[in-house]
Amino acid sequence: MAPGALAKRIPKIHLHCHLEGTLRPATFVELAAKHGVGLRYRPSNAGGEAGSQGDPADPYRFEGMGEFLYLFAAVSRSLREPSDYARLAAEFVDDALAQGVIYGELFVSPPVWSFFNPSLDVRSTMEAIVSELRRARPRAIFRLLPDLTRNFGEAKAMETARAMAAMTDLDVVGVSLGGDEVRFPPRLFAEPFAYARSQGLHCVAHAGEVGGAASVRDAVELLGAERIGHGIRALDDPGTVEVLASRGIPLEICPTSNRLTGAVLIDHPHPYVDFDRLGCVVTIDSDDPALFDTSITGEYELVESTAGPAALERYVRNAIEATFAQPIEKQSMRAHLDRAVAELHERSSS
Ligand SMILES: [Zn+2]
């Protein structure tokens, strides 16, 4: 098989992708100009804003996790009306289908939308997004895992969980937890997660990206997270790795994101190989692909070139099993993947 061939052809599954983080850079610049907001967001201690300039030719340049979170905020601020979100979702669908994505559970962050635009009607915005995502059917199915967003605290997280539990008609299948993991650890969100679970929603959480192994363990034990976003720091504690491996809790690993935010050192091999070797369920995604100047295909290519095609195929199979899709949908995804792999083998042997 030619190098990179599998990454290009294999059907793709999004399990850790923030819809806002897929906004094409040119669209971001256009929307920011339309709404008269800066390309950078940096609140100052005095309550105003410091340095909202950015480079329209390279609007997504940043260094480190702190600056990244502000960039994500700036992107979210440029999205102000349901029609902006519809455009975001429509362009996402075009880019995803072009790459052979067949299924996705996408993060969206309504608390961040409302922070920048308190008058935004969240339900109409979700409707605008979902009607575009449904255009992808039957080629691809997309569902939503709205983020409770740590930075706004527990009460807001509960409010968001309640609002999202009333939007299962809009393809909401669960809730997620992102944002500042160090200042807002998992234990603060046990109640909103318990509520979400009581409403039949699935629960996932970012953990071990910046916070330590205890953050990963707490996400599993206190929040009931069924999948962990990143989880990298779990490797500092064999007991936590054992919990992930023995319970089969999948890790959503995003290699380029982890290097750019500093979760993984640039000059070390990426630890997803260690997780795999230790019996954990590894899946691969792109996190905020536009902001990290990557794509799900790019991440799959990276994995294929470093860990080999067999590892990539295993991670995609893991991702299918790790979805919250119906059994019949999983069966169809497996068949799709089997066909793609068989075709590639045939091609390389003829
Ligand atoms: Zn993420």
Question: Phi then psi for 164, rounded to 5 degrees?
Answer: -75, -30
Q: Does residue 50 lie within any of the structural domains? A: no
Q: Quick one: average pLDDT of 32-55?
A: 74
Number of domains present in the structure of the chain: 1
Tokens of 11: 């059907």
Angle at Cα 234 formed by Cα 255 and Cα 263, nearest 5°?
35
Reported as a single tens digit per residue, the pLDDT across 246-304 is 999 999 999 999 998 888 887 778 899 999 999 999 999 999 999 999 999 999 999 99
Q: Does residue 65 lie within any of the structural domains? A: no
288 Cα to the center of ligand 1, angstroms: 7
The pTM for the full model equals: 0.95
Tokens of 332: 């169809």
Pairing of the two strands 174-175 and 141-146: unpaired
* Domain of residue 309, CATH code: 3.20.20.140
What pLDDT is recorded for position 52? 53
Q: Evaluate whether 11 touches 102 at the Cβ level (below 8 Å).
A: yes
Higher pLDDT, 65 or 47: 65
206 Cα to the center of ligand 1, angstroms: 7
Q: Does residue 56 lie within any of the structural domains? A: no
Indicate which residue of 209, 299, 301, 304 is catalytic: 209
Confidence of residue 3 (pLDDT cuts 50, 70, 90): confident
224 Cα to the center of ligand 1, angstroms: 18
Confidence of residue 156 (pLDDT cuts 50, 70, 90): very high
Reported as a single tens digit per residue, the pLDDT across 307-339 is 999 999 999 999 999 999 999 999 999 999 999
What pLDDT is recorded for position 44? 63
Reported as a single tens digit per residue, the pLDDT across 51-104 is 556 788 889 988 877 888 889 889 999 999 999 999 999 999 999 999 999 999
What pLDDT is recorded for position 48? 47
Q: Does residue 74 lie within any of the structural domains? A: no
Q: Evaluate whether 191 touches 158 at the Cβ level (below 8 Å).
A: yes
What pLDDT is recorded for position 51? 52
Q: Does residue 52 lie within any of the structural domains? A: no
Poorest-pLDDT segment among 59-73, 111-125, 192-206:
59-73
What pLDDT is recorded for position 349? 82
Poorest-pLDDT segment among 20-24, 51-55, 165-169, 172-176:
51-55
106 Cα to the center of ligand 1, angstroms: 10
Q: What is the C-alpha to C-alpha distance for residues 257 and 301, in angstroms, rounded to an integer?
A: 15
What pLDDT is recorded for position 267? 73
What pLDDT is recorded for position 66? 80
Q: Evaluate whether 255 touches 286 at the Cβ level (below 8 Å).
A: no
What pLDDT is recorded for position 262? 83
Q: Does residue 341 lie within any of the structural domains? A: yes
What is the extent of the structural domain holding 224?
5-26+81-349
What pLDDT is recorded for position 2? 79
Put the strands of the sheet holding 174-175 in their side by side order.
Answer: 174-175, 202-207, 227-230, 251-253, 282-284
73 Cα to the center of ligand 1, angstroms: 13
Q: Does residue 181 lie within any of the structural domains? A: yes
329 is catalytic: no
Residue with tokens 């809009």: 170
Q: Quick one: average pLDDT of 32-58?
A: 75
Q: Quick one: average pLDDT of 226-250?
A: 97
